[in-house]
Amino acid sequence: MTGISFLEGHRTWVLTGESSTYALRLGEDDVPAHVYWGPALPAAGVVELTAKTLPWWDGFNDPNEGLDELATDGGTRYWTPALQVRFADGTRALEWRYEDHEITAGHLRVHFTDRHYPLRITLHYRLRGDVLERWTELTADTDVEVVRADSATWALPVSEDYRLSHVTGRWAAETQLHRESVPHGETTFASRRGITSHHANPWVMVDDGTATERHGEVYGVALAWSGSWRLTTTRSSTGRLTVSGGFGQDGVVHRVGPRRPLTTPVSAGLYTDGGFGAASRAWHAYVRAHVLPHPEELRPVLYNSWEATGFDVTEAGQRALAERAAALGVELFVMDDGWFGARTGDHAGLGDWHVNRERFPEGLKPLVGAVHALGMKFGIWVEPEMVNPDSDLYRAHPDWVQHHPHRRRSELRRQLVLNFARPDVQEWAYDWLDRLVGEHGVDFLKWDMNRPFSEAGWPGEADQDRLWVEHTHAVYALLDRLRGDHPDLRIESCSGGGGRIDLGVLARSDQVWTSDNTDALDRLRIQHGYGQLYPAGAMSAWVTDNPNFVTARSVPLRFRFHVAMAGVLGLGGDIVHWPDEDLALARDLIARYRDIRPVVQHGTLYRLRPPIDDGVVAFQYVLGDRSVVFAYRQAAHFNAPERPLRLDGLDPAARYAEPEPGRTHSGAVLLAHGLPLGLPPGDFASVVVRLDRIKI
């Protein structure tokens, strides 16, 4: 039975998910201690694990170290601290005193105070199926410096070995999956950039080194935060491993005091015994059910004008693109950069969010009306958090950017970062965004952020460090306010590609721009890493022109489409100049995508052959009686014979129809033997196979 219970005689809380159990207890000194995380256990089984604190067996190794529910420094605790505080008199150690707890609607709150100082700590736990959300809340009657405030410490069962799965990358090469043994000591994955970053993503998965796609125990931890963050794994010589994570970075201090509480972002944890595939499917289900704002919707096929026009934006040019897009079956037309201010390049105009009347003599309404008349929704690109020094906004408000006195203001992409922690900047941003959306009937915002923080100062503010957290909170609040005032508005998160993808921004976005790299071959690996945690229904993927502007590689149009059709399909090429045969193929494939879209965007994912080499890559989505198989041969070597592809997620007792070429298959055969793919010969060959369960 799922839920939360308190075993009063053992001072233990048991949180039971759909197929897993988590438990914590109060130690003899009121320190909250981890008890268990893993396969479902009855309460009696948990009681067996609630042994008393173990005695020291030498003067250097605490046998209980690493088992604190929220690791703190102080006393003889030397584990990686999740919570570090410094009181006004210089005291740093925290001593717990349990006060009480509440259990309401799947939400556990455990309240503590410090034994001497007026600091209150509440540990939060919320069950979401088999995902457990944890976060921490701090309040104080006098000022307290919080040097580190992680959301949670996750203690894993002792294992013979530990293997870590995570993603790394850079611009145009995001979410590259790595699996490697966990080093002893502390290993930190982080962003100090003020954004999630292209270089790492705030999640890890841990197994014992034997898990596969289908089998084995996997533990996952993910952080719902879009600013600077860190996740630290700590592996001791005794074999214990923890994962601690939260917002912030070294050198940035949070201050808690009267009317200044601190609430950390959610750290979500998941256990599964079904391997990496089951872990991903559980994360996807969690994001759809509890994170995304409109998970029941189908994301439209979009067209974006950037690669066709760059900054050379005119009303006539946008109308021509919109007419061609509508004829192909596109449902959402998005005009990108270059429509405002003196924005004829990346050197000027950013921050001056008024329509360029030389390019749009009557404003945006005629274009928006024309797009709506073509049966499409209208979207527009914005970058609210940035400003060019060559802009009217910067000349009027140079103090609005993040900066330090007596220090240069470093430019990246010829722009600076506005300080969204300032209330006047927040109101300015809301005012023009509200008018842009409301006065023009805008249906969709592509919200971009094309550089990280630098010189993140706030002259005149007594607590400048709060900028690092409050900038992100202000962006969240602005997105929430816009969505509340314009309930039909949909938003895509972008940060120079995939620099802002995380559970925090997904709670306020309908989709994310995965990478500026639209090269179909590279996208197979980018999308593979993305899909470890995040669902295809939020993954924006475009078909663009040859050669690709990032890699200079040329790939057949069908292959480009088939790769992009594995997520939220978009087009970004200069379609006005596409030859007739490409337009005809695009029209057919968009229609095909719209048919299979519910399965792709809402179905469960099965990875059948990952992109570990340059051979065949394949995966499958299943939704109810329908299944869609995607298969890609990247490169053909030595005339190797094609192998049938074993599928997953089907009913072995059923038969499945393949409408094209009109044949049927036994579910048992597809699972045990496989599906003949019939890939065309040569490199860059691909197929998309639709299978429908035959109703008898």
Q: Is the CB of residue 141 less than 8 Å from the CB of residue 118? A: yes
Interstrand relation of 229-235 and 185-191 (parallel, antiparallel or unpaired): antiparallel
C-alpha closest to that of 85 among 44, 176, 146: 146
Structure tokens that stand for 678 in this block: 């019939």
| Amino acid residing at 343 | R
- The three-class DSSP label of residue 563 is helix
517: exposed, middle or buried (C-beta count within 10 Å: 0-12, 13-18, 19+)? buried
Residue 516 designated active-site: yes
The answer to whether 399 is a known ligand-binding residue is no
Binding residue per annotation — 335?
Answer: no
* Rounded CA separation 588/103 (Å): 54
413 is in an annotated binding site: yes
Sorted by sequence, the CB contacts under 8 Å of residue 139 that are 6+ apart come out as 119, 120, 256, 261, 262
The single residue of 68, 207, 448, 522 carrying the catalytic annotation is: 448
Asked whether residue 312 is marked as a ligand-binding residue, the answer is no
Query: Is residue 613 a known part of a binding site?
Result: no
**Nearest CA to 242 among 179, 132, 165, 152?**
152
428/567 Cα distance (integer angstroms) = 35
Residue pair 49/34 in contact (Cβ under 8 Å)? The answer is no
Is the backbone of residue 358 left (phi > 0), alpha (psi -120 to 50) or beta?
alpha
Residue 62 marked as a ligand binder: no
376 is in an annotated binding site: no
Q: Does residue 465 have an active-site annotation?
A: no
Quick one: which of 67, 69, 11, 12 has its CA closest to 42? 12
Nearest to 380 by CA among 423, 432, 443, 434: 443
The catalytic position among 510, 516, 545, 648 is 516
* Non-local CB neighbours of 438 within 8 Å, separated by 6+ positions: 485, 486
- 539 marked among binding-site residues: no
| Distance of alpha carbon 494 from the chain centroid | 11
Is residue 52 a known part of a binding site?
no
Report helix, strand or coil for 569: strand
Q: Which positions are catalytic?
A: 448, 516
Q: State the binding site.
A: 171, 336-337, 413, 446-450, 494, 516
Q: Which residues are annotated as a binding site for substrate?
A: 171, 336-337, 413, 446-450, 494, 516
